[in-house]
Amino acid sequence: MFLTQIVNGQVSELALCETCAREKGLFDPQSLTFAEKFFPEEFKNRVDKLVRELTMGESAPAPACGLDMMTRCPVCGFGVEDYRRTGHLGCPDCYTVFARELDPTAEEPERNNDEPPSLKKARLQKELKLAIEREDYERAATLRDQINALTDNNA
């Protein structure tokens, strides 16, 4: 996808592949030509913001999130970063996957604090295996650190 913006004679040009366009919140690149034709002012603002983001590295601040949150929806592939950047979700299942992100004040899911370390380690290893299977490496790294910490404490 190619975007050209001219402001006060200064030309900014963007060339984005479909994946990058999606990452920047341009979910529906085919609609951009319509947007430019129908809503020139809004379109200009959108492209302006995009140019600023790409040239200044601006992005939405990432709020602190719970350790147990998945970073990618296994149903639609939408990421938590996509949500932070756009305020949209990918599918109805994202509500469950990103529940902690959507409502950081929500209580942690009830978990038995008296869970024996061996059982906890087994549970975390199972979760790690699932995270690797769905290629959610961010989550996998968090789980790996938790397992290592448990191993160190028991040593």
Partner 1 sequence: MKLDSILNSPPAWLPVRNETGGIVVGTIVRMVRNLPGFPFPGWSTRESRAAVAAKLIPAIKSVRGYKTSFSAEMNTLSYGRRRAMLTRKLLTPCMAARQDGCHVIIPSRRNMILMVNEEEHFVVHAFNDGFDINRSLKDVLQLDEQLQEHVDIAYDFQNGYLTSIPAEAGDGLQFYVLLHLPALTFANMMGQITKALEKLHVNVSSYFSDGQDDTGHLYVVFSIPGPEDSIEQMQDGFETVVRHLVTREMQVRTKLLKDPGLNLLDAIARAYGLLMCCRRLSIKELRDSISFLRLGTLLGVISWEEDEQSVLIELYHFSLAMATQTALAEDTPGSDLNTARALAARDFLDKHPHTFSYNQA
Residues near partner 1, by CB under 8 A: 22, 27-28, 30-31, 34-35, 37-41, 75-76, 78, 87-93, 95-96, 102
Q: Write down the least CB distance from residue 110 to partner 1, Å.
A: 15
> 83 or 136, CB closer to partner 1?
83
Name the minimum Å distance from CB 119 to partner 1.
Answer: 29
**CB 120 → partner 1: shortest distance, Å?**
27
- Residue placing its CB nearer to partner 1 in the complex, 102 or 132: 102
Q: Which is nearer to partner 1, 34 or 137 (CB)?
A: 34
The identity of residue 146, as a single letter, is Q
Distance (Å, rounded) from C-alpha 119 to C-alpha 94?
Answer: 28
Write out 78-129 in H/E/C secondary structure. Answer: CEHHHHHHHCCCCCCCHHHHCHHHHCCCCCCCCCCCCCCHHHHHHHHHHHHH
Minimum distance between the CB of residue 19 and partner 1, rounded to whole angstroms?
A: 13
Residue with smaller CB distance to partner 1, 73 or 124 = 73
- Distance separating alpha carbons of residues 95 and 144, to the nearest angstrom: 25
CA 97/CA 71 separation, integer angstroms: 8
Burial class (CB in 10 A: 0-12, 13-18, 19+), 139: buried
| Residue (20 or 122) nearer to partner 1, CB | 20
Question: How far apart are CB 74 and partner 1 at their closest, in Å?
Answer: 12
